[in-house]
Amino acid sequence: MNPAPAALEFDRVGRFYGSIRAVDEVSLTIAPGEFVALVGASGSGKSTLLKTVNRLVVPAAGRVLFEGEDTASLPLAALRRKLGYVFQGIGLFPHMSVGENIAIGPRLAGERLPPARIAQLLELVELEPDMAARLPEALSGGQRQRVGVARALAGEPHLLLMDEPFGALDPITRAALGHKVRELHDDLALTTVMVTHDMAEALLLASRVLVMEAGRIVADEAPHALLAGRGGEVAQGLVAVPRDQAGRLAQMTSEGAA
């Protein structure tokens, strides 16, 4: 049996800043359809690892394979247009309308995105189609990141990369948008890799959680396995925070009811 190639494969990928090993010989395979959360403290290397996929960070060692092809051998612009990428800083172009922002990827490939498609993408992220004509400055933070997601989906990518996508949003917007992204992941049959420092978010959205520390992957578990106490010390340290919070909230609720 010759299975379909992995959606994404890291092969002993390394990246060093001086003597610091930001990413230290990471090998990893992600299958099509997985929703992977990369979790870790600041400086653990999770963002750097994600950026080796679209070569915003060029690995110093090893290879990254996208659908079986070495990303180093693909033309840079072409590679990036195949990958949906949602930025931590949202990164909408302030001088372009919402519609122009969404259509930028296809435009770079020489393709004009029809208004109907832009309207459809806006609807996907639950925005009104008539927002296409507005400038980003007229939007709220949550609306902007929804546009950011729509922009990432415009090129019909197979792989969606998200770098702390909800970091700058308020908790309510954050929860709603997280939920929406998970829904899109299922509906559009995407493979998704999301970097987050929030273990609760990772546990709630992902189908697989990777925990990084000092450039290495120290845990690779399904959410329920982590909740069941597996994955080692570092991972359990991260899981303990939301679990304690949830426990105390539950206790407060029951005390209030009593």
Minimal distance, residue 56 CB to other proteins, in Å: 6
Q: How far is the CB of 89 from other proteins (least distance, A)?
A: 3
Shorter beta-carbon distance to other proteins: residue 105 or 231:
105
Distance CA 249, CA 68 (A): 46
- Asked if residues 112 and 158 have their Cβ atoms less than 8 Å apart, the reply is no
Contacting positions for other proteins (CB under 8 A): 54, 56, 76-81, 85, 87-95, 104-105, 108-109, 135, 151
Burial of 19 (0-12, 13-18, 19+ CB in 10 A): exposed
Residue 160, strand partner residues: 84, 192
Please state, in angstroms and rounded to a whole number, the distance separating the CA atoms of residues 162 and 30: 15
Minimal distance, residue 1 CB to other proteins, in Å:
35
Write down the least CB distance from residue 105 to other proteins, Å: 5
Instruction: State in angstroms the smallest separation of the CB of 102 from other proteins.
Output: 11
What's the token pair of residue 113?
Answer: 């995105």
Q: Is 110 left (phi over 0), alpha (psi -120 to 50) or beta?
A: left
Q: Kindly give the pairing relationship between strand 20-30 and strand 191-196.
A: unpaired
Q: Between 34 and 164, whose beta carbon lies closer to other proteins?
A: 164
Query: Of the candidates 210, 164, 160, which has an alpha carbon nearest to the alpha carbon of residue 183?
Result: 160
Min dist CB 104 to other proteins, Å, is: 5
Closest to other proteins by CB, 36 vs 92, is 92
Closer residue to other proteins in complex, CB, 109/246:
109
What own/partner pairs with CB < 8 Å and gap ≥ 24 does 227-230 have?
227/203
Residue 160 or 226 with smaller CB distance to other proteins: 160
Query: Considering beta carbons, is residue 190 or 226 the nearer one to other proteins?
Result: 190
